[in-house]
Chains A and B, each alone.
Chain A
Amino acid sequence: MKPLFFKELRQGLTWAFAVLAIMTIAAIYFAWDVTRPGRYVPPFERFQQWSVVACPLAGLFLGVLHVLTEKRRDLWAFLVHRPMSRTTIALAKMSAGLVLYFLAVGLPLAAANAWLAMPGHVPAPFYWPMVLPGLADVLTGSVYYLAGLLVGMRDARWYGSRVLAVGVAIICSVIVVSVWYFWLALLAIIVAAGVLGVAAWGSFVGGGQYGPQPLAAKAALGASLLAGIAIVFVIGGMVLAAIAGAAATGPGTRTTYRITRDGEVVRLVRDRWNRAIEITNLDGTHNRPLEREAQESDRWYAMFLGTDTVVIPDESEPDPNRAHGYRHADTFYRHVGGVGQTQWLYSFRERLVLAFDLERTVLVGRLGPTEYRAPPESPVQRFGESIVSTWGNVLVFEDVVYRLKPRERTIATMIAPAGERVLALTALRSRDHNEFVVVTDRTVRFMTRDGEVLTAADIEHDLVRYGYLQFAATENPQRFFVWYSPSHRPCVEALELPGDLIVYGPNGALVARHELPAIPRQYSGSTWYDVALGLTVPLAAMGTAFVVTRALGESSFDPDGPIRADVVYGVMSLMAIACAVVTMRLARRYAFSRGRRWGWSVFNFFAGPMGLALLWCLRDWPARLPCDACGKKRVTNRDRCEHCDSAFPSPAPDGTEIFE
């Protein structure tokens, strides 16, 4: 294997150098971009924008080239006809290719991270877990490398199923950028690399054909193609949904409650084009003046107060205030303000506010709850561990809310409610973000920037059931609105609970209280959309979604919502039966064995049109020729006719045969 490994290494060196050069140039560009004087560009995110795209592209490019250049008939024969197993040759090829890929991509990325890690290069702190997103991207690129090998190896048409194998890698990418924890990303990469590695190995062993492959490789290839097919179906489904949505025939109206600028509560009905078509008071009477105004103006929403929403974090979520994922800078620090050339970042790790000079890209100071210190000194006291959130230059902890004063390089306490736990904070849009609402487990407070409480009221509902709060305020008369809406979290039935809108005056005086009945969910879709959904989504996907959502205790899967479940399930069932029947006929036509015939039919009953597409892409379909004995069409790859069991006739002698 050693000579082959070194041969592969040498062979791929040119392309790897090309990738290395491009990656290095890109790294230099991004380094220049994040250090351009006078502006703050978050370096952590900026480098990820590069690595998340560049690594997969580099992997795919190297993978396809690594095999395609050698797939020419004679050179391929020269490669594989030697006294070693194809598995050995495949392993040598893959390992050399991966080494080249990791060098070409990993070196510039490692250099970029080392550069980021050195103080004085970027106006932001660096912590070692920040290399994890780049590492995940490099590893994801190796999945694309294997996908590239598979794409290059398979004997399929470029405009057919050849590129579908990249589907697994795309899904892997989506998971890697979506999950919160690096270990989950790593798990996804290992699984995807495993599937694609086995599929690429199988295709190598089979010389690009499906038939000669080992069973595990066939399964892996099937999984790879199915992922690609699923992506094609999702995109196709979205196009169909867009077309069906445009041809929607249902009423398509949406009803919501709104607060007018005068503080009245009304019910607003909008059509599918977002036009206000009906405005009624809570007693059901039409609010003609508002309706007229809405019809005369396109900007009907200006008639209503904008509300600001707070979703109370679910206690069951792990570290609800901090878990922003391993790829987000928020996991490490958050931008909390900037004045002139100084940017202020709250470091979750150091529990201090850090000041960076944008011109010199250096740390110029650290601010604690009591003091500011220039480096190398550091404040003695740090902020608490229980940070809830930040809003602009306001830092919210469970026991205290601070406001940063960058010019003075100090921090002021806005409120420290004794015996209460701060749950959330938001700034009021209706008051140009100059006033805030602080929600604790017991009280809602409307307050100014300087900490003056304008009004305060007790929490009126259980925040698990009513975890969705909206706030607004009016100046004249001074009114404060607290609107409790049910959360779907406990159960979907909770959405049937009425909303509760409470209006307060200054100093917590109750002015009014409105019970807002739940608005019945109505079918607003299109039958064509439902039919399209039933046609494309297989039973297995719907069943899995149903089981998973139930198992997770989620209730968001609600077939009675915007779709007509009877239409969807009906079409889906008919499609499942049709796919199974078509598969059975195909299998008979191409003389599958009894087990394969039934296996594929049952699979396609659940996998629907995706399974049918998979079957079509996966197998080498033999030609069918008329049988000389019975006249029926028979497959060419069987020794005997599947209809009459006669053998293929030997070529007719013409009398010129000369045999010893």
Chain B
Amino acid sequence: MDDFVIQTKGLSRCFGSRTVVSDLDLAVPRGCIFGFLGRNGSGKTTTIRMLLGLLEPTRGEARVLGEDSRALSETARSRIGYMAEGHPVYDWMRIGECGRFQAACFRSWNESIFRAVLEHFRLGPERRARELSRGERAGLCLALTLAPEPELLILDDPALGLDPVARRSLLEAMIAVTRGKDRTILFSSHLLGDVERVADWIAVLDRGVLRASCTLATFQRRISRFVLAWDGSPPPDTPTLPGLVHAFRDGRELQLTIANVDDRVRAAVGSLGASSVQEVPIGLEDAFIDYLGDRGEKNLLLPDPEATP
């Protein structure tokens, strides 16, 4: 059996002259919960739509469960569960009708899973979809996606627009149903807490370019933060350092978040002329925020108000 359920090679998508996904080489290991991260407009949804054959790639190819994404067979589709970001269901249907409709379309349908998820969200079968709140709607969609017991679950920003309670509820349901089985989940999000809670592998898209694809532990290990302090005023320009992802100035202190720190980088940081250099531990959430933020000189570096001109 293939070790990767999703593999892309040079996958690209342009809308007009704007390249939204650029030369994406992605591999999603079987059995993992894969967090697909990126800011709004970074190309996550476009990538997912290409993976499911809903959008034609401009270049490159993608294989999902061993099949070309442009021509996924009915069997492959039955093995893939997909929850789109807007939590789409037919408004005019009742919850029970939604279930019956979906059950009739899918070859395998686990009614107990469907009911369990509905109960988790306290959804009765007689309610119409148009009457549901966002969280309830997400719950219904999740129930519809999980009940066919798909081998690969692709969730496009499942917690989008939900309050923290609904979000937590959704994640709990997702984990409860999927954990312990040979099932892969790829979910995109820009909510870092969600990723930290459930993902064991992540990929980060930055303006259509894949910048990271690793386990959560590796990601945390490879991001470091340095706090530099000067007796006088620190240098006015952002220092040029390899792997610099974020810089923040606080009076006479400069905080630098750097990826892939090695001795060479440490030496470069040391040569900035600071009176003290500290490598401090960084939390995963901070690491994410810094990594997903704009790089290098685009950070807002406020001049030191006490510094002499």
Contact = CB atoms under 8 A, between A and B. Distances in A.
Contacts of A659: 212-214
Interface residue tally on B, bucketed by range: 35 or more
Contact of A212 (B56, B85, B88, B243): B56
A207 B54 contact: yes
A660 B54 contact: no
Nearest to A4: B105
B78 A83 contact: yes
A314 to B, nearest CB: 57
Interface string A599-632: 0000000000000000000000011110000000
Interface stretch (A100-108, A411-419, A499-507, A648-656): A648-656
Nearest to A85: B74
A660 B4 CA distance: 14
A658 B104 contact: no
Nearest to A637: B58
B70 interface: yes
Contacts of B84: 73-74, 77-78
A211 interface: yes
Contacts of B222: 658
A351 B274 CA distance: 115
Contact of B54 (A77, A636, A655): A77
Nearest to B85: A74
A655 B260 contact: yes
A83 B74 contact: yes
Contacts of A651: 22-23, 208-209
Contact of A656 (B16, B77, B260): B260
Nearest to B70: A212
Contacts of A211: 56
Given A3-B101, A3-B105, A636-B59, A658 B211 contact: yes
B211 A74 contact: no
A207 B55 contact: yes
Given A77-B88, A78-B88, A81-B54, A657 B105 contact: no
Most chain B Cβ neighbours within 10 Å, of A7, A638, A657: A657
B15 to A, nearest CB: 9
Contacts of A209: 56
B52 interface: yes
B17 A77 contact: no
Nearest to A654: B295
B114 interface: no
Interface of A: 2-4, 7, 10-11, 72-78, 80-85, 207, 209, 211-212, 622-625, 636-639, 648, 650-651, 654-660
Given A7-B90, A75-B90, A656-B291, 10 more contacts: A3-B104, A74-B87, A81-B52, A83-B75, A84-B74, A648-B59, A651-B23, A658-B211, A658-B218, A660-B213
Interface of B: 10, 12, 14, 16-17, 19, 22-23, 49, 52, 54-56, 58-60, 70, 74-75, 77-78, 80, 82, 84-90, 92, 100-102, 104-107, 204, 208-209, 211-215, 218-219, 222-223, 242-245, 259-260, 291, 295-296
